[in-house]
Chain A
Amino acid sequence: MFYLFDGSENGFLTAFLLAFQDKNARISSKSAQLLLGQEPVFVRTDDDRAQRAKARLLSFDNGCHKDLNALLRCGREDNEQVAFEYLRFLAQKKRPVRGMLAEPAVYRAVEYIKKVGLEIHHFHGFIRFIECESGALYAPFEPDNDICDLLVPHFRARLPAFPFVLHDVKRKKAAVYDGANAFLAPLEKAEIMISADESAWQGLWKKYYSAVNIPSRERLKQMRGYMPARYWKYMPERS
């Protein structure tokens, strides 16, 4: 059966309960995953049942909520299915399964969780702020995974005096830090006034980037491996 849920965590957990005994269960929040003519089960989110399921899962493995959170943020097509199979395996074993790396349900989940963690680390480096006239910093980017709010603690810790906006352009949402508090907001398109010096600093950065390169040792493949081309759009030195 195909279980279609609303994309929320509680929705997922409700679907998890419904599909638990179904050997051929497919779980997703993306209707595009449906095969032609397939009749899905529309899962109606039940917060109470979801919370009970969560408490039960946490009793087997206290860290599984973090895993689920990362898996639901993962940008892969089948991320919810992978989360389902991982948690079902956990519920069957009734103890932490994270180390059972030879199990398909586990190594797939671990792989996706790692992808999310790695992308957060990447964007600690690849985020490019544009200075606005007000002094606030604005960074548009298009991550593979839904991580914009997870980047906030890092930048807040190092730039506490600067309000900033991390704009996930693809998902049309933004993590905003106003100088005191951080929150998530839907954001389709941002219109900003850049500061007087902004383009001069960007120019210096591009100059620096080309000067620090050693042309006689070109290794483009290596560069792309470390810094995938899909991230370049918002990086002044590459765009």
Chain B
Amino acid sequence: MFDFLFVPLYNIDMITQEKLTILTESAKYDVSCSSSGSARKNAGGVGNGYIAGCCHSFTPDGRCVSLLKILLSNDCVYDCKYCPNRVSADVPRATATPDEICELTMDFYKRNYIEGLFLSSAVTKNPDFTMEQLLLVVKKLRTEYGFHGYIHLKGIPKADPALNRSAALYADRMSYNVELPTEKSLKLLAPQKSKESLLLPMKTLTRERAQFVEEKRKKQVSGHFLPAGQTTQMIVGATPEADGQILRLTQALYRKMQLKRVYYSSYVPVVQDSLLPDKCTGQLREHRLYQADWLLRFYGFSVEEIVTEGENLALEYDPKCAWALKNMHLFPVEINRASLEELLRVPGIGGRSAQKIIQARAYTTLTFESLVKMRVALKRAKHFITCNGKFFGAKNETAVRGLLISAENGENAVQENLFSLLPDTGAVSEKKILFSDRQNALSALTGEL
């Protein structure tokens, strides 16, 4: 008669450590981890959005853990040349049940380990089937489990648009990976994917989102439709496209598709294939692309100002320095008079410093000393500004160039990367790679799996 009081001691849907490991290992190279952009409210149940995003931990590789980044399955039917989970690869396979993923998300979230779920999957059986499975998980999580935290869902190319639309009603953000910057490269390395199959769902979702926002404004619909928008990711260096070309695509994605972010992952050679280069793409190149990406999004630059189409970004210094060196006639600017736009174009001065300067100079004339006290970084900036008429930088352009390069060398994170400039570390010889690294490098080829 007390049957109804029975509570199972063990959670029946608890995922095993082995499965969790396989599905995480296969998902971890997806670069995106952001949990920002959604202000979803708690409506009973568990969780809410955190508009600024929130990092819950940091791994020894210096990356943040914000979302539970996991694949529903790594059992792929595709055979993309660069992918560790391609059907012809000999790797352990696993598939989780929707309840396993839901339980895991709920229990991690409750303990404040994570800000939400980043769910992706290999293409199992066919795109529609895979998308249905993903949809099943997010729907279950939202409706049965009452989860209102962040969900980032990876879209499956070539899946039925109706499935994507349904998923968008539950997810905070969706992403399709562009993978490679041109159609030609895609044909070569990922023959089952085409530019159209990757861009079309993005376009459709962008249009549907705009429509939803409009209808919501008129109070014809309620709920959410991808409140945190869409992102994408591409591999850099597997194919010969120049930075200029990559950044032009990036700019188009921001302007035409209203993407929130474009992520880059530098290519590491592991699969022996005559179609793939045998050289590592330095992480420094990836770093420079991100810096240029920031200039596009937050500093009012257009790609045409930064780099020509066939050109790569300079590796010796950041793209803003490179731009400033080409435009020395615009400098130095007077810190007490320059507009916000002008300040933002000074190398070394970021959004926060620019704001501080504008705020503080309303009360007093700023000197070099006051900038130091206000903790405005001046290592680069001093060559491009005057403080109350006084100039503290180097006398000529050659000296400025040299000092900017040494400023880069002084910064640890980048210094490490500068080794990738050395010619002999570029090519990775088979023998040098330890097994674990090789495994890693295999998976590192792409975030999309």
Contact = CB atoms under 8 A, between A and B. Distances in A.
Q: On chain A, which size bracket covers the interface? A: 35 or more
A215 B110 contact: no
Contacts of A125: 54-57, 66, 112, 115
A5 B331 CA distance: 53
Given A201-B108, A204-B20, A226-B58, A212 B360 contact: no
Interface stretch (A15-23, A56-64, A96-104): A96-104
B149 A158 contact: yes
Given A158-B48, A201-B107, A222-B62, A127 B112 contact: yes
A207 B283 CA distance: 27
B97 interface: no
Contacts of A139: 112
Given A130-B111, A216-B441, 18 more contacts: A99-B363, A102-B363, A102-B366, A121-B52, A125-B112, A126-B56, A204-B14, A207-B21, A209-B57, A212-B65, A214-B28, A215-B437, A219-B62, A220-B60, A226-B58, A226-B62, A227-B55, A238-B57
Q: On chain B, which size bracket covers the interface? A: 35 or more
A212 B26 CA distance: 9
Interface in B103-161: 104, 107-108, 110-113, 115, 148-149
B363 A219 contact: no
Interface string A214-239: 11111111110011000000010110
A128 B28 CA distance: 22
B373 A213 contact: no
List of 3 A-B pairs having minimum Cβ-Cβ separation, nearest first: A222-B62, A219-B62, A102-B370
B14 to A, nearest CB: 6
A107 B363 contact: no
A115 to B, nearest CB: 13
A205 B436 CA distance: 21
Contact of B110 (A162, A207, A209): A162
Interface in B80-112: 104, 107-108, 110-112
B277 to A, nearest CB: 19
A196 B9 contact: yes
Nearest to A235: B57
Contact of B413 (A204, A218, A222): A222
Nearest to A139: B112
Given A157-B42, A211-B28, A214-B440, A197 B363 contact: no
B57 A101 contact: no
Nearest to B364: A102
Given A158-B48, A203-B17, A214-B440, A128 B111 contact: yes
B412 interface: yes
B58 A197 contact: no
A120 to B, nearest CB: 11
Contacts of B65: 209, 212
Given A214-B440, A215-B60, A201 B360 contact: no
A124 B50 contact: yes
B356 interface: yes
B58 A208 contact: no
17 contacts: A100-B364, A107-B374, A107-B375, A125-B56, A158-B42, A159-B46, A161-B44, A196-B10, A197-B11, A201-B111, A212-B28, A212-B59, A212-B69, A215-B60, A217-B62, A227-B58, A235-B57
Residue of B9, B47, B59, B362 contacting most chain A CB atoms (<10 Å): B59
Interface in B1-60: 9-11, 14-15, 17, 20-21, 24-25, 27-29, 42, 44-48, 50, 52, 54-60
B343 interface: no
Interface in B171-224: none
Interface of A: 99-104, 107, 121, 124-131, 137, 139, 155, 157-162, 196-197, 200-201, 203-205, 207-209, 211-223, 226-227, 235, 237-238
Residue of A100, A209, A217 contacting most chain B CB atoms (<10 Å): A217
A108 B375 CA distance: 11
Contact of A218 (B24, B61, B356): B61
Contacts of A220: 60, 62
Contact of A99 (B20, B50, B360): B360
B60 A213 contact: yes
A97 to B, nearest CB: 8
Nearest to B29: A214
Given A100-B363, A204-B17, A128 B113 contact: yes
A16 B133 CA distance: 64
Nearest to A155: B112
A221 to B, nearest CB: 6
Interface in B348-370: 356, 359-360, 362-364, 366, 370
Contacts of B57: 125-126, 209, 227, 235, 237-238
A226 B47 contact: no
B68 interface: yes
Contact of B359 (A101, A121, A235): A101
A107 B359 CA distance: 12
A131 B55 CA distance: 21
A235 B319 CA distance: 38
A164 to B, nearest CB: 10
A134 B27 CA distance: 35
Interface string B407-445: 000001100100000000000000000001100110010
A55 B63 CA distance: 47
Contact of A129 (B24, B112, B437): B112
Contacts of A162: 110
A214 B444 CA distance: 9
